[in-house]
Amino acid sequence: MCGIFGYIGKKEAVPFIIEGLRKLEYRGYDSSGVATLENNKLFVSKCVGKIANLENLLKQKPIGGQIGVGHTRWATHGKPSSENSHPHEDCQGKIVVVHNGIIENYLELRRELADKGHKFSSATDTEVLAHLIEECYKDNLLKAVAQALCLVRGSYALAVISEHEPDKIIVARHGSPLIIGFGNDECFISSDIPAMLKYTDKIIQLDNEEVGELTIDQFTAFDLDVNKIEKEIELISWDPESAEKGGYAHFMLKEIHEQPNAVRKTIEGRVRAEDHKVHFDELNLTDEEINKVNRVVFTACGTSWHAGLVGEYLFEQFAKIPTEVEYAAEFRYRHPVIDENTLVIAITQSGETADTLGAVWEAKAQHAKVISICNVVGSSIARESHGVVYTNAGPEIGVASTKAFTTQLTVIYLLAIIFGKRKGTISNSEATKLINDLIEIPGKLEQTLYREEEIKKIAQKIYKANNALYLGRGKGFPIALEGALKLKEVSYVHAEGYPAAEMKHGPIALIDKNMPVVILALSGRRYEKILGNIEEVRARGGLVIAIACEGDETIKECADEIIYIPHTSVPLSPILAVVPLQLLAYYIAVKRGCHVDQPRNLAKSVTVE
């Protein structure tokens, strides 16, 4: 996820753009840049690091002009570097582009353009767009952009300025948001509403496969065939504070709701069901290296460690490779017995967790192959790993990890398919079915989020409880742990996740009418056993909140509260089942008046041991 901001008006563009990029920094902050037009000439300034670095660069070498576009980057293709920063230019330096999204067919387009003589200066997918527009340009910039986008597969929010037509900004959108704002003798473009709210509450939101031409006093929208489209101006009533969160009360809630799109982004450009293809550009593992792997060790902390627990089930089920999960802090100091045939998979949202970084160093010292599953491109753990798979979830601001977790599970699921196919333990047809099941998950996540009001009501019933027990079996057990962690960290309620079968070996002594018990009662071969656990809890007066599959009538006879999730295959059920637990923790915390996004004593990334 990246941030785009643009200005066209009667004042200097750069101050507006810098302020807009600052407000968009949550969308990405590994590099940034600005391009302006002055006296029909283009000027570009860009650098790695935070917006502050760009501001310093502009103080040393100012660029002027009353039209400009800016970008703050969340690297997906090409590491954070000055040459990979946006804006990107065409060969002649007469067209510049800023882009948020992923161009899936950028490699084939790049090859075709290079064959026509185009020279590239970056490793990004976005630069291909600048050269493609140059290739299509004859005498109309908007038509050239529309024509270029007809050749593109993927997602984009795009802004283009050019010396060819120096009085306008061309914008386009498919899959990534782009908003146009209308001030007094000035207009703005932005990736989100908050960044422009200070200047205007009159906006137009581009829809998918729309392009637009913005001048100082006019905006015209078209479809990709350049047929004019009428757009209505909307009035925004948000206050600036709530607007930062896209209208949500907290980043945590926003990021819970971002999960359908986040999982879509994780999958985008990496799977093709028709030929059972799964591919990660940056994995950097040859087939031979995969064949050598005779053991997998997941290592992580916190929520990411829970993702590793699900990974243990998936790798052993799909790839029949002995797999274990280690707390990073334990793994790094216990002299693990691993070797060059062990694959260590570090899971980390931030890519900066000190213990996980230490575990990576220990694994490398023992000559293991190390890959990381990470959400921050170019982070320390990503750089230290032999290969990396990025979750592409976009920045996660809330301390409680939500979309990072479901996108980690998505990556692990795909990795298990890759290993299963390579090891010959799953057939091509099985792989195709597994991929098709995954492709349905974003839509099923959206359906799961429709239960929000029901979950909020349950939270309001149990928010005063000072303890809670979360129980699950099989792949439901890691989700029980994750649900308990969510409740602990945002609401300060003592909650414990436990294997449901272990309840009789101790925790059942805790159960009374004051103990809500959340149970993952998902369909599968352990379902009948779970019903038995529910009866044991009810017999001792515990309040049972069951997470069950839609259509399950049996559960109605034994649970006090039921939260249904859509049917999916058992291996994918954790991705759906965790969402009600995230929402339950969130609404309990809100009801208890806790600081949801920055809970006491916690940090978003634990960069100390």
Catalytic residue ranges: 2, 604
Q: Does 356 bind ligand AGP (CB under 6 A)?
A: yes
Of 66, 85, 350, 568, the residue at the interface with ligand AGP (CB under 6 A) is: 350
Q: Are strands 387-390 and 467-472 parallel, antiparallel or unpaired?
A: unpaired
Site string for ligand AGP, 382-401 (x = CB under 6 A): -----------------xxx
Cβ-Cβ contacts under 8 Å for 52 (sequence gap 6 or more): none
Cβ atoms 7, 35 nearer than 8 A: no
Site string for ligand AGP, 443-482 (x = CB under 6 A): ----------------------------------------
Residue 171 amino acid letter: V
* Part in contact with ligand AGP (CB under 6 A); list of ranges 4-12, 86-94, 250-258, 346-354: 346-354
Q: Does 303 bind ligand AGP (CB under 6 A)?
A: yes
Cβ atoms 267, 439 nearer than 8 A: yes
* Part in contact with ligand AGP (CB under 6 A); list of ranges 311-319, 329-337, 343-351, 572-580: 343-351
Whose tokens are 């320390």? That residue is: 380
Name the minimum Å distance from CB 356 to ligand AGP. Answer: 5
Name the minimum Å distance from CB 391 to ligand AGP. Answer: 10
Q: Does 372 bind ligand AGP (CB under 6 A)?
A: no
Of 82, 220, 598, 605, the residue at the interface with ligand AGP (CB under 6 A) is: 605
Name the minimum Å distance from CB 48 to ligand AGP. Answer: 21
Q: Does 177 bind ligand AGP (CB under 6 A)?
A: no
Query: Cβ closer to ligand AGP: 329 or 562?
Result: 329
* Part in contact with ligand AGP (CB under 6 A); list of ranges 233-241, 296-304, 443-451, 463-471: 296-304
Of 353, 372, 391, 582, the residue at the interface with ligand AGP (CB under 6 A) is: 353
CA distance 523 to 288: 37
CA distance 495 to 211: 50
Name the minimum Å distance from CB 176 to ligand AGP. Answer: 24
Burial 47-65 (b: 16+ CB within 10 A, else e): bbbbbeebbebbeeeebeb
* Part in contact with ligand AGP (CB under 6 A); list of ranges 250-258, 273-281, 344-352, 435-443: 344-352
Name the minimum Å distance from CB 112 to ligand AGP. Answer: 39
Query: Cβ closer to ligand AGP: 8 or 344?
Result: 344
Q: Does 76 bind ligand AGP (CB under 6 A)?
A: no
Q: Does 266 bind ligand AGP (CB under 6 A)?
A: no
Query: Cβ closer to ligand AGP: 85 or 353?
Result: 353
Helix (H) or strand (E) holding 222: strand 219-223
Name the minimum Å distance from CB 236 to ligand AGP. Answer: 31
Which residue's Cβ lies closest to ligand AGP? Answer: 302
Query: Cβ closer to ligand AGP: 304 or 533?
Result: 304
Q: Rounded to a whole number, what is the largest CA-CA distance in the chain?
A: 81
Residue 382 amino acid letter: A
Name the minimum Å distance from CB 302 to ligand AGP. Answer: 2
| 212 HSE (CA, 13 A, CB side) | 29
Going 142 to 394 to 455 to 525, the CA torsion angle's sign is: positive
Of 258, 489, 561, 597, the residue at the interface with ligand AGP (CB under 6 A) is: 489
Cβ-Cβ contacts under 8 Å for 503 (sequence gap 6 or more): 469, 471, 533, 536, 537
Q: Does 309 bind ligand AGP (CB under 6 A)?
A: no
Query: Cβ closer to ligand AGP: 31 or 350?
Result: 350
Cβ-Cβ contacts under 8 Å for 15 (sequence gap 6 or more): none
Name the minimum Å distance from CB 480 to ligand AGP. Answer: 15
Name the minimum Å distance from CB 447 to ligand AGP. Answer: 24
Query: Cβ closer to ligand AGP: 235 or 608?
Result: 608
Of 68, 154, 302, 394, the residue at the interface with ligand AGP (CB under 6 A) is: 302
Of 32, 176, 266, 348, the residue at the interface with ligand AGP (CB under 6 A) is: 348
Helices (H), ranges, 450-526: 452-462, 476-491
Name the minimum Å distance from CB 116 to ligand AGP. Answer: 43
Helix/strand number for the chain, H first, E second: 20, 27
Number of residues that bind ligand AGP (CB under 6 A): 15
CA distance 487 to 462: 12
Q: Does 84 bind ligand AGP (CB under 6 A)?
A: no
Name the minimum Å distance from CB 595 to ligand AGP. Answer: 14
Q: Which CA distances in Å does 154 have to 173, 203, 377, 442?
A: 11, 25, 20, 16
Query: Cβ closer to ligand AGP: 356 or 533?
Result: 356
Helix (H) or strand (E) holding 173: strand 169-174
Q: How many CB atoms lie within 10 A of CB 472?
A: 29
Quick one: CA torsion of 363, 354, 253, 589, rounded to 10 degrees? Answer: 120
Going 252 to 257 to 258 to 263, the CA torsion angle's sign is: positive
Question: Which residue, 161, 132, 157, 162, is CA-closest to 147?
Answer: 132
Cβ-Cβ contacts under 8 Å for 350 (sequence gap 6 or more): 375, 376, 379, 604, 605, 607
Residue 461 amino acid letter: K
Quick one: CA torsion of 157, 161, 162, 168, rounded to 10 degrees? Answer: 120
Query: Cβ closer to ligand AGP: 468 or 558?
Result: 468
Query: Cβ closer to ligand AGP: 266 or 349?
Result: 349
Q: Does 162 bind ligand AGP (CB under 6 A)?
A: no
Query: Cβ closer to ligand AGP: 301 or 363?
Result: 301
Of 342, 349, 380, 391, the residue at the interface with ligand AGP (CB under 6 A) is: 349
Give the interface with ligand AGP as residue ranges (CB under 6 A). Answer: 301-304, 348-350, 353, 356, 399-401, 489, 605-606
